[in-house]
């Protein structure tokens, strides 16, 4: 039985993407070699790299003033790469603390330079998004996390700041329409909405680089990665190719606008059941609820065994909440069909 995959990541991928990626592992482009065997310098893979970078800019409606990179180390490496490339030796950066990953980004940046936390929701276990953020031009950049995978909150309106805007979009990249030209740097691990684990997308406005006066490790330098077209070292070919397939699937199915429409429908279906069913309660502030990660818990823990048995018997996978929050978390990434959400809702209705 095909599972209903609500995993927070690595997450569900479209079936056609899995089939094409599987075929490429055996024979890539009919060349008689596996995708896992070919040189990253071969014309076949260079074409993949060129196309995936092009499709990212097309989906985001970005011009040639932006560069697209596919790197390694996960979004966690970007916690250090961002300040190395943007935080001047005598400057300071502004951050919001809205969850575990935002907190991790702050921790790494503080090792490199001066950081000021200008908004935090830690006081209420990260259950909301801090509002009325003010960041002036005395800061080198402002860093935020658009969607909080663990706690189920999401920024609806990004603050207007008088400095560079940097955003970790790891868990909601390509899930909703945004004016991406407002951002100076975006990064996202692939394993939520874009492909398998192993590569990280970085989209950066080229004019902001090379101004810090810092000497940094070679791999940390965005400009060097740009010069080498994401091939400063051997790239993770499978992750990048599968990301290309996923973005092609996304474009074929209405692009980001189409994905947003489907994601809203999925989220509304599940949140309606949470709000109307007295056995469940949401963990995130209603105005800040994520379209991607729905966090909730039982109001009666005596029902836990019955509920857990029911959703597992229904073929649902990956519903347990993060260890820091408990409860449950349903991740509704782009590739998850609304039919899977309906299965979950039906199970929730069945518990009494």
Model pLDDT for residues 293-322, shown as the tens digit of each residue: 999 999 999 999 999 999 999 999 999 999
Task: Write down the pLDDT at residue 5.
Answer: 97
Three-state DSSP class for residue 50: helix
Average confidence score pLDDT of the chain: 96
Tell me if the pTM is above 0.75.
yes
Q: pLDDT tens, 149-180?
A: 999 999 999 999 999 999 999 999 999 999 99
Residues 256 and 334: their CA atoms lie apart, in Å, by 9
pLDDT bracket for residue 59 (50, 70, 90): very high
Concerning whether 192 is annotated as a catalytic residue, the answer is yes
Point out which residues pair with 296 in neighbouring strands: 282, 328
pLDDT for position 323: 87
Catalytic residue among 97, 101, 184, 205: 101
Q: In this structure, are residues 190 and 17 in contact, taking their beta carbons and an 8 Å threshold?
A: no
**For the residues 107-127, what does the mean pLDDT come to?**
97
- Domains (ranges, CATH) in the chain? 15-252 (3.40.640.10), 256-350 (3.90.1150.10)
Please confirm, yes or no, whether 249 is among the known catalytic residues: no
Residues 91 and 139: beta-carbon distance below 8 Å: yes
Label residue 352 by pLDDT band (50, 70, 90): confident
Tell me the pLDDT band of 280, cut-offs 50, 70 and 90. Answer: very high
Confidence check: pLDDT of 1 > 70: no
Give the mean model confidence (pLDDT) for residues 46-70: 98
Check residue 177 and give its pLDDT: 98
Give the pLDDT confidence score for residue 324 in this predicted structure: 85
What is the mean pLDDT of the segment spanning 238-243? 98
β-pair partners for 186:
167, 203
Which listed residue (97, 172, 192, 297) is catalytic? 192
Residue-wise burial string across 134-152, b where 16 or more C-beta atoms lie within 10 A, e elsewhere: ebeeebbbbbbbbbbbbbb
């Amino acid at each position: 039985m095909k599972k209903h995959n609500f995993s927070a990541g690595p997450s569900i991928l479209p079936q056609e993407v899995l089939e094409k990626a599987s075929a490429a592992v055996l024979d890539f482009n009919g060349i008689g070699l596996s995708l896992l065997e070919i040189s990253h310098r071969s014309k076949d893979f260079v074409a993949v790299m060129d196309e995936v970078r092009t499709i990212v800019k097309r989906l985001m409606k970005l011009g040639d003033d932006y560069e697209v990179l596919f790197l390694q180390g996960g979004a966690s490496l970007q916690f250090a790469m961002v300040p190395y490339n943007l935080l001047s030796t005598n400057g300071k950066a502004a951050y919001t603390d809205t969850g575990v990953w935002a907190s991790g980004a702050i921790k790494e940046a503080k090792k490199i330079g001066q950081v000021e936390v200008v908004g935090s929701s830690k006081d209420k276990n990260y259950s909301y998004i801090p509002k009325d953020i003010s960041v002036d031009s005395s800061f080198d950049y402002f860093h935020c996390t658009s969607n909080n995978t663990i706690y189920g909150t999401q920024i609806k309106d990004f603050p207007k700041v008088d400095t560079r805007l940097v955003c970790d979009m790891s868990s909601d990249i390509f899930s909703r329409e945004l004016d991406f030209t407002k951002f100076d740097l975006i990064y996202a691990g692939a394993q939520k909405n874009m492909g398998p684990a192993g590569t990280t997308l970085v989209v950066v406005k080229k004019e902001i680089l090379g101004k810090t006066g810092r000497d940094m490790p070679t791999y940390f330098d965005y400009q060097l990665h740009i010069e080498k077209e994401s091939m400063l070292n051997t790239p993770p070919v499978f992750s990048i190719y599968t990301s290309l397939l996923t973005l092609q699937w996304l474009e074929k199915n209405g692009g980001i606008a189409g994905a947003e429409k489907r994601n809203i429908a999925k989220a509304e279906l599940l949140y309606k059941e949470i709000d109307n069913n007295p056995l469940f309660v949401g963990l995130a502030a209603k105005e800040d609820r994520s379209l991607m990660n729905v966090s909730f818990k039982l109001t009666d823990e005596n029902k836990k065994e019955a509920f857990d048995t029911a959703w597992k018997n229904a073929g649902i996978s990956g519903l347990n909440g993060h260890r820091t929050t408990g409860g449950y978390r349903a991740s509704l990434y782009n590739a998850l069909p609304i039919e899977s959400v309906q299965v979950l809702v039906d199970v929730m209705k069945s518990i009494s």
